[in-house]
Structure 1
């Protein structure tokens, strides 16, 4: 397990639907090594979103083992999970999830401000990361003043700023046109070449093909690794 950033063994997750129990994940086991670019591919309702939420410590499994960067997630309380989400994982969402009232710079600085970093240092880092994703001339723009592709770049910068162990991307091209989506996927390939571990959730095989490895999730189970 030494070089695994993610280790899962027999992960199960169910939800109550009235009197019925819906089993969404049925004994998922997987390992993702540091520096990998992995796509989790599956149709709607396959369980991939639930798996993503467990990987991202947004939700916890009913049973099974999950070790993230050497930490046993099952043993963590809510406050500890919140800390892990902020420190270990950089989230990239389909709909960007940016704070509309704030500039790109403030959106990117936000995770560091949550950690207690002083405002000047956090904003200095934010400007640098925005330059690295090609938005050095857009730091004072608010989300609605940016194109979809630019908003996703801000989202990527926000995910990168805390130097997380994992970039977790949920349908990152879902709200973008084909050309812009391709640019974002090429950015992921470059980020992976720089050593970033990326886990990307998608229903689209063509998107998944940009990853180094594809994990197929169907009906709550992994078909192959």
Structure 2
């Protein structure tokens, strides 16, 4: 595969930045309202974002789980890595070591990219990371996880068996599917306006309100 670089010619994204930001904000806000462990929520992000892309954008989007590597800072050699690397350099992923993203019409879209900084913090590696959109043509993926050279370079190793297993587990948990439906009910495709908050009814009939967290996405990887 072609190695990506910061000098590569830009390609038009499938999803405009404003739409990406709104999808991220809705999912992030709903998860935060139930005090979810955000760094561990990549599969929820991916399943729900794929459903939004199917419903509102008529895109052939689907969640994928596996190993993932992203270079976020070349000077410090800082790369986010999800999965396991064996002594022979072989990459693997499982239920305890994985990441999830959306694949859609030849692109990889990671809706957790705006909270990469929080993912590093959770792993004990505190450092500032820009809040940017990650939406890349898969043809620009680096040849391997050792070939990452410029910020935004990436390498993904999909695990279809893991993806199927996690999707079955997700669909079997009513609490997760209900939260995902809340995101779809709340979302409005730009330029339509969207309510700043949403009423959520609890299991006992109590009503709470979810406020939209306005985390800004500044630029692209």
Name the TM-score, length of structure 2 as normaliser: 0.27
TM-score of the two chains, using structure 1 as the length reference: 0.27
Q: Which has the higher strand share?
A: 1
